[in-house]
Structure formats: C-alpha cells, structure tokens
C-alpha cells in the first residue's frame, strides 16, 4: 500500500431509506422511497433504497414519476430527528480514528488519516475498521473510497455501492477514471454532461483529449478545474473547520399557483423556519437566496449579498420578497424556497445607546422559545392566518 493514500471518503448507502429499513425490519429487501409523501405526488424523492433504484428511481425525482416507475414501493415521509441521531453516532465513530474529519452532509464525510497508521494500520485497514464499527454500532452500511486526494476518494466510494471499499492506487488512476462516464465526475451535472455529449464526449478518457484552453473556453474557471481533476489532480485539503455553509427551506404546493400574495405568505412561513434554525445554531449570514420552480419544472434562483449580517425573520423575508419580485412568474409556481448563506458565528455585540435593535432580537427569541415548548403551530403571525384563509 502506497504511503500517501491518506484521504478517505465515506458515504452512507441510501441513508434515509436504510434507516427506515433498520427501524422497520419488515421493510428489509423491499423498495423504500423517502420523500414528500404528505403532498401526495407533488413532492420529490429524498432517498430511494437500492431495491427501488433498480427501477430507475433516484433522489430529487418527482414522487409522481417515482410512483410510475415503482408503484409497489413503500413511500414514507422523512424523520429528520432520527436521521440526525444516527448521523451523530456515525461521526462520533469517525472521530475515534482521526480528528481530521470534514463533514459534507448528514451522511457523508472526508477523513485525513495521515499519522494514524501506527495505531490502526494501513488506510485500507482503517476503512475496514470504520465499516465494521458503523455496522456493529448502528446496523447501517457505508461505502468507502481511499486515495491520495478528495476527488479520487469520492470517485472510489461510488464505484462499488452498496457496502463497498475501493482503493485507488496512484498507478491505477487512469485505468479507473478513463472508462467512467463524464457525469461520474463530482460537480458535473446534467447540463454540463449534455454539453459534452453534444460534442461527442461521453467518457473521461475522451475528455482528456481536449486541450486546456478548449475546456476553459467551454466552462470558464470550471474548465481549469475539470482539466486537473480528470488527471487525478486535486489540491483541496480536508477542512476540519468546515461549517454550515447555508440553511434553507422549501415547499411544494398542492396546487400550482400564480397568486403573488399566496407566494409571499409561504415565503414568510419559510423565512420563519430558516431563521429559527439559524438562531438555534447561533449563526448570522449576509447572503439571501430564493428558489422558484414552475409547473414546467423550470428552476429559477436569485441571490443577493448585503453589507450587514442577519438572522431575523423580518430581515430575511424583506430581502426574499425583493428577490421574488424580480422573478418572471409567467407560469404557475409549484415550489418556492428561501435560504441564507455566508454564515458565521454570532458573537456578543455591544448594545447601541441609540437604537432599539435589541427589541427585534428578543422578539425572535421569545417566538422561538414558545414554538420549542408548544410546537410550530402554537403561535402565528397575522400574515400566516391570511394564508390559511386563502387555502380554505
């Protein structure tokens, strides 16, 4: 084993669906789809078990389409608290092997195990031990990739799912990468993949034949990055101080709507949910963004970065409303979302003698505490009542 294969990528297999199968043994071996079931066919798939994936179901697919492909599947709403509980267990296991853990999401992480080999053996052995410990302590399985950098490790973890362990040695990089479809490159979405397919490029090996300037011309700065990645070059470090980059919420309507008033009511409700989560983490942010999806499934996003950092509902809603007013609402809307990014920890600030900004902050804290104690529906703003009236 080469001594510089120190980066491990761990990805829990079909995490949400696997948790449901774990907690409900009668679902083992069955097609399980977790998503926005409360909205009937209007929601999207969060996670599909491997039994469901055989029928072409995948994350972010509309539930309506999933039901056509896999009508016999068990459809379940998500249980965020349960997933978070198991995620915490998993990350505590990872931290026993190395303090250098970069959390990417609730079910995915990078580890740098340099300096850990005397205690735990080779990177491959560490991967095996991690898989066993997670299985023994949680009952869940994961897939792991081991390589010299983050890009290759992530590619590796995806090559033998579920329950895989793939080592990509330095002298095997081209052999592993070249036959892969271009859409296997992390960060290359459908749009980029289609653009490459249109010029006859389907595999990474074909993409390597393109000159640096060609890629840069086609994809700008992402072309430069692409040129390096497909050659196994990735200079990113494992960032142990990675923090929450953004917090957002979205909702899919039961009926498509062009009613701006109604859209604004939902925008306020979502702003309340987002800022409550932001305040719970003691964060503030200065980039506000919205997402709108129409009945043709066209997605429009808008964002703005402001000078001050915020975490109040009123502020988020105010900027979200301005962004929504810039969106062309020619088609009825099926989904709306809002979020806040560029987050940082909120530090104690000296109170101003000349403003009463404290009042808004205390108001939000009181609202949060009431909802924590009595539930989300325990207290509402007048605008929320107007939304209910519209729906009746």
The set of catalytic residues is: 108
- Bridge partners (DSSP) listed for residue 333: 257, 294
Strand intervals (E) in 157-200 = 165-167
Helix, strand or coil for residue 310? strand
Residues with Cβ within 8 Å of residue 102, at least 6 apart in sequence: 109, 110, 111, 238, 239, 240, 242
Q: What length does the chain have?
A: 392
Query: Where is 305: in which H helix or E strand?
Result: strand 299-310
Q: Give the Cα separation of 257 and 198 in Å (integer).
A: 35
Structure tokens at 50: 């491997």
Residues with Cβ within 8 Å of residue 180, at least 6 apart in sequence: 155, 203, 204
Q: Give the Cα separation of 194 and 183 in Å (integer).
A: 9
Q: Give the Cα separation of 93 and 282 in Å (integer).
A: 26
Structure tokens at 361: 């902050």
Residues with Cβ within 8 Å of residue 71, at least 6 apart in sequence: none
Cα 208 from chain centroid? 29
Give how far Cα 355 sits from Cα of 315, 352, 358, 361, Å. Answer: 16, 6, 8, 12
In degrees, rounded to 5, the angle at the alpha carbon of residue 231 between the alpha carbons of residues 11 and 216 is: 105
Query: Where is 75: in which H helix or E strand?
Result: strand 74-77
* Separate counts of helices (H) and strands (E) for the chain: 16, 12
């Amino acid at each position: 084993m080469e001594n510089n294969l120190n980066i491990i990528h761990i990805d829990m297999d079909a995490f949400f669906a696997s948790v449901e199968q774990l907690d409900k043994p009668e679902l083992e071996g069955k097609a399980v789809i977790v998503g926005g079931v409360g909205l009937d066919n209007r929601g999207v798939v969060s996670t599909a078990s491997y039994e469901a994936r055989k029928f072409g179901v995948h994350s972010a697919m509309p539930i309506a389409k999933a039901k056509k492909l896999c009508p016999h599947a068990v459809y379940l709403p998500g249980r965020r608290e349960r997933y978070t509980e198991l995620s915490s267990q998993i990350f505590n296991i990872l931290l026993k092997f190395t303090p250098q853990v970069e959390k990417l999401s609730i079910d995915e992480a990078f580890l740098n195990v340099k300096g850990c080999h005397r205690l735990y053996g080779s990177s491959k052995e560490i991967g095996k031990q991690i898989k066993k410990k997670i299985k023994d302590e949680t009952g869940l399985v994961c897939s792991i990739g081991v390589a010299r950098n983050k890009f290759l490790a992530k590619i590796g973890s995806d090559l033998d799912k579920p329950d895989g362990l793939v080592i990509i040695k330095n002298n095997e990089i081209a052999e592993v990468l070249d036959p892969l479809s271009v859409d296997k490159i992390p960060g290359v979405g459908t749009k980029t993949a289609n653009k490459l397919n249109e010029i006859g490029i389907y595999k990474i090996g074909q993409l390597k034949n393109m000159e640096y300037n060609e890629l840069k011309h086609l994809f700008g700065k992402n072309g430069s990055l692409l040129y390096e990645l497909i050659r196994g070059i990735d200079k990113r470090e494992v960032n142990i101080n990675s923090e929450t980059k953004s917090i957002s919420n979205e909702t899919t309507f039961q009926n498509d709507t062009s009613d701006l008033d109604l859209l604004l009511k939902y925008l306020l409700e979502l702003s309340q949910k987002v800022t409550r989560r932001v305040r719970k983490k003691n964060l503030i942010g200065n980039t506000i963004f919205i997402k709108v999806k129409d009945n043709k499934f066209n997605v429009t996003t808008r964002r703005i970065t402001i000078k001050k950092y915020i975490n109040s509902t009123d502020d988020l809603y105010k900027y979200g409303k301005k962004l929504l007013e810039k969106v062309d609402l020619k088609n009825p809307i099926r989904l709306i979302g809002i979020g806040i990014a560029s987050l940082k920890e909120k530090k104690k600030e000296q109170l101003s003698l000349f403003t009463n900004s404290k009042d808004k902050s205390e108001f939000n804290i009181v609202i949060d505490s009431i909802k924590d104690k009595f539930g989300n529906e325990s207290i509402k703003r007048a605008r929320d009542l107007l939304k209910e009236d519209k729906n009746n």
